[in-house]
Structure 1
């Protein structure tokens, strides 16, 4: 009976179970950047064939969470610290533009959705659940993006937010161990209020400050924990 169940999962939604499990383990850094993902080992772990494993890895690659090398082996995508300034530049542009549009175009339903996402985030913070915190943080910002009514800009923003989730988890870990810095939530309520009031310039300023906060916190974390001997001064030049 158990074998039949595994067969059905392999032919149907088995890949999704593998995908969701590995996805969460990569985001929470249980699977480290650069770690090899061996198809055979994963298949044995989930008691499935290699076909759903390959499907799951394809979807993870689409999320920029895994990379296939020239020898066809797959690894967890590295976190490229040296490209962080360019990432922050793009994030700043997308965050400010989406927040400006939201302040200009939001409906009352949009305001309710943003407020609910903020409540979800606060609930996750109260439970100290990093995975739920990073997901709720992303959904808060995506609720703002949807309020801006431009699906193309929102899609670009969503991709950037997804790419930044592992960096956010590194920051969460740092805060828990050191009690230094602060969570990227202090401006959320202010951002919501600026959007509610249709104060476009204040919304823009808050979005920009939010990016700089993330940049500076991540810079301090990397400098103290992972970047000894590496020149990271350029990280503070963007945004």
Structure 2
């Protein structure tokens, strides 16, 4: 009995150390939560003699992330338009990625609202709906302001430098009205904002909205958008975060959402 107690006591510090290490890793790896609603998968225990197979899950996850990023951009930029029917086999051939990562990427896109899985019909790119976009913006306003304020307080020096760099690039995109550069910078801005805010619950909620918002923008910006203004408003948020100005970041984020909402309403007359 004494030996059993001794073993339990001796294991307790080890468990605490592992738990603390996991918490540290979780904090350091907040950027892993930037992809919306990513599911955490438990890896099976594999005997040491099968160590080569341990690399497979990590490789699959990397391919799924790559497939997701490519498909999200194709959908957001309307290269895969609303109503398009998506085939795992066709996408696998096009992206040169296996069907399993493609299938998992499509499942994540379905959770984001970018595709719809219909029984016996396959996977379709979802429609773009103004009413849905306006309801989305009601929630996005709260989250944008919250995350901008948190990022201004919590961003590391490296992250503040990255925000400053994005702000400069945004202003350059505004000068030449480079829409594709703006779209890609906007995605980097959103990812960095999510990472710097260090609130995984806000990140998950915002993750559901970013791709839908980008696609809505891309569909209508040629008719009603003021791309230089949009880029400058993003730059002002990034600059406020870079200088650790919480109030300024929150005000700039609110101004940005004001513009986005005004843009959405103008599409009615486009």
TM > 0.5 fold call = yes
Q: Which structure is higher in RCO with an 8 Å CA cutoff and minimum separation 6?
A: 2
Q: Determine which of 109, 120, 127 is the counterpart of 1:71.
A: 120
Matches within 5 A, 1:139-154: 139-154=188-203
Answering whether residue 235 of structure 2 is matched by residue 189 of structure 1, we say yes
| Counterpart contact for 1:181–1:217, Cα < 8 Å | no
| Counterpart contact for 2:82–2:125, Cα < 8 Å | yes
Spell out, residue by residue over 1:204-234, the C-alpha distance to the aligned partner (whole angstroms, 9 max, x if none).
12111100101111221x2133xxxxxxxxx
| Counterpart contact for 1:99–1:207, Cα < 8 Å | yes
Q: Which residue of 2 aligns with 1:213?
A: 259
Q: Which residue of 2 aligns with 1:223?
A: 268
* Residues 44 and 97 (structure 1), Cα distance of their counterparts in 2 relative to 1, 3 Å cut: closer
Report the number of matched residues. Answer: 211
Matches within 5 A, 1:74-89: 74-89=123-138
Deviation at 1:110, TM superposition (A): 2.2
Counterpart CA distance in 1 for 2:154 and 2:97 is: 48
Deviation at 1:23, TM superposition (A): 3.5
TM-score (norm 2): 0.63
Q: Which residue of 2 aligns with 1:103?
A: 152
CA RMSD of aligned residues (A): 3.4
Deviation at 1:173, TM superposition (A): 2.8
* Residues 203 and 23 (structure 1), Cα distance of their counterparts in 2 relative to 1, 3 Å cut: closer
Counterpart CA distance in 2 for 1:46 and 1:193 is: 36
Q: Which moved more, 1:204-213 or 1:41-50?
A: 41-50
| Counterpart contact for 1:37–1:74, Cα < 8 Å | yes
Structure (1/2) with the larger helix percentage: 2
* Residues 62 and 121 (structure 1), Cα distance of their counterparts in 2 relative to 1, 3 Å cut: farther
Q: Which residue of 1 aligns with 2:25?
A: none
| Counterpart contact for 2:133–2:264, Cα < 8 Å | no
